[in-house]
Amino acid sequence: MAFIIAYIIVFLAAATPFIEVVFTIPVGALAGLNVFLVTLVGVAGNVITVILVIALADRIREWQRKRREKKGKGSNKKNARAEKIMNRYGLPGLAILGPVFVGSHLAVLLAISLGSSKKLVTAWVLGSVIGWAIVTGVVSYFALDLLDLTNNGGFLYDLLERYS
């Protein structure tokens, strides 16, 4: 049961904006979870919330605009960084670099607010999230093997043994 909870935590972490599969997969692998399952669960969490953000993009941007007006704030650093990437590299660049530098959720919002079609944003960002997950999963798998941590239960196993 505890390991099901661990995978639920991976799902929720990957679904959380700015905590991307690039972070959750290595942490899940170090925790002693199966890298393949962590990759699948992480992708599922990230993809579901990205699709939700795409579907609700117009409402979210309006809410953000009103919130900034009330606080009297302008654009923040992440928005500026994402806009710079979008202006320089276009939608493909923002989609590919977004999960690492600004988060896939913010990349989606910015791409849509700058006029990209939701279909193109969906295709590029989901492709990018899945691509980054595959790369991160493979690197995590081989890094654990290289560091000889494959037989080690990971910190999650230690915690579960200590508190059970």
Residue 27: what pLDDT?
A: 92
Q: In total, how many domains does the chain have?
A: 1
Residue 87 burial (C-beta neighbours within 10 Å; 0-12, 13-18, 19+): exposed
Residue 120: what pLDDT?
A: 94
Q: Which domain holds residue 46?
A: 2-163
Residue 139: what pLDDT?
A: 96
Query: Is the Cβ–Cβ distance between 33 and 6 less than 8 Å?
Result: yes
- The CA R_g of the chain, rounded to the nearest whole Å, is 18
pLDDT tens column, 33-77:
899 999 999 999 999 999 999 998 878 778 877 887 787 766 677
Listed in order, strand segments (DSSP E) in 7-160 are none
- Residue ranges in the chain modelled with pLDDT below 50: none
